[in-house]
Chain A
Amino acid sequence: MIEDELLKWKFKRGSKDALRRIYEKYLDYLLTLTMALLNDASSAEDVVHDVFVTFAKSAEEFKLSGSLKSYLATAVCNRARDQIRANKRQLAKLDESDPVSTSSDGPEQLIIYSEESQRLNDAVVQLPQPQREVVVLHLKGEMKFREIAKLQGESINTILGRYRYALNKLRSILDGEVER
């Protein structure tokens, strides 16, 4: 956190090293969020790429008072929503609970993950998008419920409800007890 404050300050003044450090520090964090929201390696790369590129251009406007981590997580979430809206076919896939490939179509693997991560992610992407966001942003993004409520434009009670429903559904899916 202290490091982040220094990084933000240096970044605002055009430090290449600071930007590189921010990138290295948060790339996998943002990639995990994006994969949990989209479950598609190519789309995830696009989202993370766009978020960082936009961030790199934003030094002058970037507000010092915000948490860097939450700022980036929110940016990823917004971009992921755009991606979902832009790709109806992928959205349909997600809503049909049909896991999407986590690797690119090419021979090389873009993203490295364990089998357990894949299994968990396959379950997470079966959640309706609003619930998925709450679970992912809270558990992996470490965002507070009130921050997520603000992001989704809902009351905190709604967010807490979504969170409870999502966890119950995840338990059902992962225990193999989901009713189809």
Chain B
Amino acid sequence: MRPMDNMEETIKKKLNFTASAKMRDRILDDVLKAQKNSKKTKTALVLPNIRRIIMKSSITKFAAAAAIIMAVLITFYFVGNPLGATVTFADVIEPILNARTVVLDLVVGSEETGLVVHDIVVGSKIRRTLPNMGPAIIDLDSARMLRLDPLDKSAVYIDIQGPFQRWTRSYLGLVRDIVDDMENHPEWPVQELGQRWIDGQRVVGFLLSVPNIKLTIWADAETAAPIRIEMLMGQSQTIIKNIEFDVPVDESLVSMDIPDGYTLHEKELDYTDFDEQDFIVVLQYWAEHVLGGNFPDNVSAEDILKVAPALRQKVDQLNISDEEKMQIGMAMGRGFMFFRHLDPNGIEWHYVGKGVEFGDANTAVFLYRPKGSDTYRVIYGDLSVKDSAPEDLPK
């Protein structure tokens, strides 16, 4: 190939000019002076013009995919811990162990206000549907997800390995592993809660307390079939209900193949490499673009799942390229993952942003103590982050 055959690449890579140190300093000096001499910048937030758009762009898919991954993790924890060592409790969890298909609703947050996710489970595959987001098919064996967007008939594969590896085992295999774990931990108590009525059904309850998790399972008092499971992990609450075991399911619903009429997105997404900065992006857009300059009253899995559509809408409305929107969407997705990994890992965190204005450099909005750290990471209203010893934490 002749050197100039690939003219575009040559210009992209080889045509470069660099400022000398003297030029660099000379211009910078004037630039900083110009800033200093200009009028003081106003503190009020300036929001982008909002235009009505149809939500069909890439960012929609990516943000929605991230929200679905959050729900994936929620369920992983559900199946990972409701298992006791007593005979009675074993009766209750027997269908979970042995059922090949399960259909259920998962409420993320409280019963009254939470977001309802619908699951169809077939072996190690799950078809998961969130409201207004279309379905995702999750293959736990291969740790991949296929996200389908019925709106524009597009499909994208998403890697859910990396930090999620320990949760990407077979759905039922994971349950069996946890049973083994429970047997090795006799100190994990299972408390009988007695009988009560739920939706006209007489049920018996069990409370399982393991580190960082309180799990309550309500089962039919006659058949021992679980009908409702409530889990409080850290500060995150989830409820599983409308559970049906071994019901006939069309297995094509959990196929990882691209359905006819759908177009595969070229890029395979990966949300697994997340960090604090990604979560800051979520806070920024949430406060600045969704709430007009104030941080939310509360931050929880429920809140994040609910705000996800608004976040992606605001990003879609920005006057930036699709690639840039995608980058923000990906960062938000990783930010969701960052938040979601806190409770399962027993990381202490506190959201204190209620009433804080976006840009307030003196008031903390979120703080957490990384695993093994003696100090807290404190995120302030201007999105700056500082390390703080426990005795120095903001009041």
Contact = CB atoms under 8 A, between A and B. Distances in A.
Main secondary structure of the interface of A (DSSP, over half): helix
Interface string B38-57: 11111100111100000000
Nearest to A66: B319
A60 B31 contact: no
B11 A110 contact: no
B11 A114 contact: no
B359 A111 contact: no
Given A13-B41, A67-B321, A120 B20 contact: no
Contacts of B26: 49
A59 B327 contact: no
A113 B20 CA distance: 10
A144 interface: yes
A117 B43 CA distance: 44
B30 interface: yes
A116 B12 CA distance: 12
Nearest to B317: A65
Contacts of A67: 319-321, 324
Given A48-B27, A108-B20, A1 B327 contact: yes
B139 to A, nearest CB: 30
A67 B327 CA distance: 12
A95 to B, nearest CB: 20
A94 interface: no
A57 B34 CA distance: 6
B42 A174 contact: no
B379 interface: no
Given A6-B284, A64-B46, A111-B18, A14 B318 contact: no
A135 interface: yes
Give the interface residue-count category, chain A: 35 or more
A135 B11 contact: yes
A139 B16 contact: no
Contacts of B35: 14, 16, 19, 56-57, 59
Interface centre among B12, B35, B47 (most CB of A within 10 A): B35
A170 interface: yes
A121 B15 contact: yes
Interface residues of B, number: 55
Given A23-B28, A63-B48, A65-B319, A111 B20 contact: yes
Contacts of B317: 65
A85 interface: no
Contacts, number: 161
B319 A60 contact: no
Contacts of B17: 28, 31-32, 35, 44, 102, 111-113, 117, 121
Interface string A27-56: 110011001100000001100110011111
B18 to A, nearest CB: 4
B8 interface: yes
A114 B7 contact: no
Contact of A117 (B14, B37, B46): B14
B11 A60 contact: no
Contact of A64 (B24, B48, B359): B48
A142 to B, nearest CB: 9
B87 interface: no
A108 B4 contact: no
A109 interface: yes
Contacts of A63: 46, 48, 319
A65 B22 CA distance: 33
B7 A167 contact: yes
Contact of A31 (B18, B382, B383): B18
B20 A109 contact: yes
Interface of A: 1-2, 5-6, 9-10, 12-14, 16, 19-20, 23, 27-28, 31-32, 35-36, 44-45, 48-49, 52-57, 59-60, 63-67, 70, 102, 108-114, 116-117, 120-121, 124, 135, 139-140, 144, 167, 170-171, 174-175
12 contacts: A1-B328, A14-B35, A19-B35, A32-B17, A59-B38, A59-B41, A64-B48, A66-B319, A110-B19, A111-B23, A112-B20, A117-B15
Interface of B: 2-4, 7-8, 10-12, 14-20, 22-24, 26-28, 30-32, 34-43, 46-49, 277, 280-281, 284, 288, 317-321, 324, 327-328, 331, 359, 382-383
Which 3 residue pairs spanning A and B have beta carbons closest together?
A65-B48, A14-B41, A56-B35
Given A27-B24, A45-B27, A110-B22, 19 more contacts: A1-B324, A1-B327, A13-B43, A14-B35, A14-B40, A16-B36, A23-B31, A28-B18, A32-B15, A32-B16, A32-B17, A44-B17, A56-B31, A102-B17, A109-B20, A117-B16, A120-B10, A139-B8, A171-B7
